[in-house]
Chain A
């Protein structure tokens, strides 16, 4: 999975590929580094993610809970069709803020 931070909107992070248990630690570390640099709001662009497994779903929920507890913002942006269906049938879409927006220029 590739992780890329948007240069024009540092709170926007785009994931590419398969987001599964093998990748959760990498995303956690990436987000931790963002926070250490003062970037606590997070908008996660999942438009290019093909699959999320249960560990990835747990990561999303954890990020959402952390943001709520720390008065920060966490949003999922533009989930792919596959991810949208997975969020829907697991009912995790109800626990997240999901936005379908225009892509932010890199």
Chain B
């Protein structure tokens, strides 16, 4: 039934409440985005739940937008930005536009195969967590084709985070994270980092406001053709670590809109 499920999803607008929103940030992904959309659409459609796909483009200057518009899937929403604002800004726009009870954000390169979402979704649906984070650092994770320099880079970042931040998530940067709608609304309304370090900021805020976060080991395959400059990202990441701390000291994370009207969350 998978192919039939996909065709129904592709041609028939959701008529009931969206259960799952899948957010994919893109920036100049003309070579990768269509296979990724195909894989996501086939798998999630087979789950038999109302769902939407949100592509949050970040000012692509290649043909990414044209390609997405051309495939014309009725439950796919394309968010277009006038200019490149950073991955964090694209994910924020996508999550804030989401209408699902659960929101998954996933990188455009399918480094973590979409089939892994079942593991994360069950954790939130079972009430084990508000946020489920894909992890390459836990026992049980299956990491393939990761180069030595990237392994060293990841290990270094993890060590720095462990020393400077109270969060105990081993892999903050895996581009495969799921949020309950409530936690997504609170956290992404407060999120200020627009670059690649937004994950860390969101997890920091999740800790601060007492959301339950669970790390789930996932499969991960290094996808060649990354458009990311690792050196620049590393420097920016270190700057952002300081910025998150400074934002907190300055009180910029003290007033989540939803938390003011809810009783379940308190600051740690």
Contact = CB atoms under 8 A, between A and B. Distances in A.
A57 B2 contact: no
A85 B8 CA distance: 13
B138 interface: no
B224 A81 contact: no
A26 to B, nearest CB: 12
B174 to A, nearest CB: 17
A90 B34 contact: yes
A21 interface: yes
Contacts, number: 61
Contacts of A53: 32, 35, 110, 223
B145 A52 contact: no
Interface residues of A, number: 19
A51 B35 contact: yes
Interface of A: 18, 20-22, 50-55, 57, 81-82, 84-86, 88-90
B30 to A, nearest CB: 9
Contacts of B37: 89
B127 interface: no
Contact of A82 (B32, B38, B145, B221): B38
Interface string B79-100: 0000000000000000000000
21 contacts: A21-B224, A22-B144, A22-B222, A52-B35, A53-B35, A53-B223, A54-B31, A55-B224, A81-B2, A81-B6, A81-B46, A82-B38, A82-B43, A84-B3, A85-B6, A85-B38, A85-B39, A85-B41, A89-B34, A89-B71, A90-B38
Contact of B3 (A20, A54, A81): A81
Nearest to B36: A53
A57 B32 CA distance: 11
A76 to B, nearest CB: 15
Given A81-B42, A82-B42, A82-B43, A54 B145 contact: no
